Structure 1
Amino acid sequence: MGVYQELCYKVEDFFVKTLTKNQDETIIREKVTSYRTKNDERLLQLKEEKKKDAVEQQRIRVQQKQERERVNLEKEAAEKREIENLISQVMDTSNYSYTAYEFNELKRNKVFFQSLLTNVFEPNEKALTFIYCEYDKTKKQEIKGYLIPTTKRILFLNKSLTFMDKFRYQTVINVNWFKDGLLEKGLKIQYGKRRLEFDEIFDQDQMQRVGDIILNKSNKRLIKN
């Protein structure tokens, strides 16, 4: 019994004794004891019920969390299958495995890559790889979009497909990369007498992959700065 409850009982005893001073003390004490016992049992029962309720609520929360996780996993798996299906349509996966960069870009820009199939690619044409960058078409014209080496040619397109440039592999003389600021990189492609520059590239591994594939298709050697 706690100190507070002992104090309460003493106060109760005082009032009971005062109010029942002309009655049988033994009977009164038995009634008080019986009342307190029943009250303690009721409080204990309430405490146990609260404890059981807390356990049940915790079980429900765990179950709900597990269900949310299951739904999320199923959703992620379905989305992964969807993206992999799109990859198999857009990219030449028979000769090149896709990268995490490519998977994430297709996931973020599904409409753009789906439009390549319907509005851009020739029959039997597929992307070999790609990278998002800025094309310095002229000193005054810079265009953001995707540089895409395909099985047939090299393409540069903006996301809205309102701009597209096409390049032939056989005209590529060499490719080199350069630093473009603190974190950015850029690709330079010597295209005949022209020099094509693509900068604002943040993924060096993907940039290297794009450069290597362009050179392999053009049978040239990569030159690094």
Structure 2
Amino acid sequence: MGIYQKICYSVEDIFVKVLSRKQNPNEVKHKVATYRTSKEELKVKKKYEQHEKVKENQRITTKKQAQEKQEVLEILSQVVDLDSFNYSRYEFNEVKRNQQYFKLLSETIFESGEKGLTFIRCEYDKTKKQELKGYLIATSKRALFLDLGLRNLQKFRYQTIKDVTWFQDGTFEKGLYIQYGGRQLEFDEIFDTEQMKRIGNLIKKKACERSA
């Protein structure tokens, strides 16, 4: 029992003694003890119930997070080559934020037998006056650019890709150049360097394999 509780009980004892002068002291003490015991038991019960409620909420949260992660991984497995290498944190977070986009990508854009390998969010400079925000995607068959609205799809054959390089685009941004035949494709507003190198090297590797 804490000091504060002892003081409270001492004050209570004084009031009880004053208010119960004409009653049997033993009965009064018994009633007071019973009341205090019940009060402590109720306090312990509430504390236990609160603890159990916190545990249950944590269990529900953990279960929900596990379910959400599984849903993300199911979509991720369609747009990233999980058989060859682990998914990156970047890929997981992008799919988590844009689940509907990637789900529709695999269901409506990919051809039969086509699987995604990796991707990166960027801006595609289609022309000097037209810039599209979306994702550059490397698949088992080709490279694609699909805008965020799923309306503008650009297809690039690996056989036609001659080189892939990256460049600094401002203070924090990076960009990719893809030499596509006689054209230089530019993808900028890239903020994750490792993911940029990941997709750049993969596209370059696929292009070399197809041209060999």
The TM-score range, normalised by the shorter chain, is 0.7 to 0.9
Match of 2:198 in 1: 209
Pick from 199, 202, 215: which aligns with 2:188? 199
2:81 is aligned with 1:81 = no
**Contact residue 136 and residue 198 of structure 1 kept, 8 A:** yes
Match of 1:42 in 2: 31
From the superposition, tell whether residues 141 and 35 of structure 1 become closer, same or farther in structure 2 (CA, over 3 Å): farther
Match of 1:28 in 2: none
**Contact residue 90 and residue 117 of structure 1 kept, 8 A:** yes
From the superposition, tell whether residues 50 and 86 of structure 1 become closer, same or farther in structure 2 (CA, over 3 Å): same
What displacement does 1:86 show?
2.3
What displacement does 1:128 show?
0.7
- Residue identity opposite 1:95 in structure 2: S
Q: How many residues align?
A: 202
**Contact residue 96 and residue 128 of structure 1 kept, 8 A:** no
Q: Which is worse superposed, 99-108 or 41-50?
A: 41-50
Normalised TM-score (structure 1): 0.77
Matches within 5 A, 1:1-225: 32=21, 34-35=23-24, 38-219=27-208
What displacement does 1:42 show?
3.3
Q: Which is worse superposed, 32-41 or 171-180?
A: 32-41
From the superposition, tell whether residues 34 and 87 of structure 1 become closer, same or farther in structure 2 (CA, over 3 Å): same
What displacement does 1:88 show?
2.7
Per-residue CA deviation, residues 68-105 of structure 1 (Å, 9 max, x unaligned), is 11122222222222222223334332223322221222
Q: Distance in 1 between matches of 2:169 and 2:75?
A: 32
What displacement does 1:39 show?
4.0
- In structure 2, stretches of 5+ residues that fail to align are 1-5
**Contact residue 76 and residue 95 of structure 2 kept, 8 A:** yes
Q: Distance in 1 between matches of 2:154 and 2:15?
A: 90
From the superposition, tell whether residues 185 and 32 of structure 1 become closer, same or farther in structure 2 (CA, over 3 Å): same
Q: Distance in 2 between matches of 1:141 and 1:182?
A: 23
CA RMSD of aligned residues (A): 2.8
SS at the partner of 1:61? Answer: helix
- Residue identity opposite 1:181 in structure 2: G
Q: Distance in 2 between matches of 1:215 and 1:137?
A: 20
Q: Which is worse superposed, 186-195 or 86-95?
A: 86-95
SS at the partner of 2:87? Answer: coil
- Residue identity opposite 1:144 in structure 2: K
From the superposition, tell whether residues 97 and 40 of structure 1 become closer, same or farther in structure 2 (CA, over 3 Å): same
Q: Which structure has the bigger radius of gyration? A: 1
From the superposition, tell whether residues 159 and 56 of structure 1 become closer, same or farther in structure 2 (CA, over 3 Å): same
What displacement does 1:36 show?
5.4
Normalised TM-score (structure 2): 0.82
What displacement does 1:170 show?
2.1
- In structure 1, stretches of 5+ residues that fail to align are 14-30, 221-225
Q: Distance in 1 between matches of 2:158 and 2:94?
A: 24
Q: Distance in 1 between matches of 2:14 and 2:114?
A: 89
SS at the partner of 2:48? Answer: helix
Q: Distance in 1 between matches of 2:127 and 2:65?
A: 42
Per-residue CA deviation, residues 148-176 of structure 1 (Å, 9 max, x unaligned), is 01111110001221111111112222222
Q: Distance in 1 between matches of 2:125 and 2:180?
A: 14
What displacement does 1:203 show?
1.4
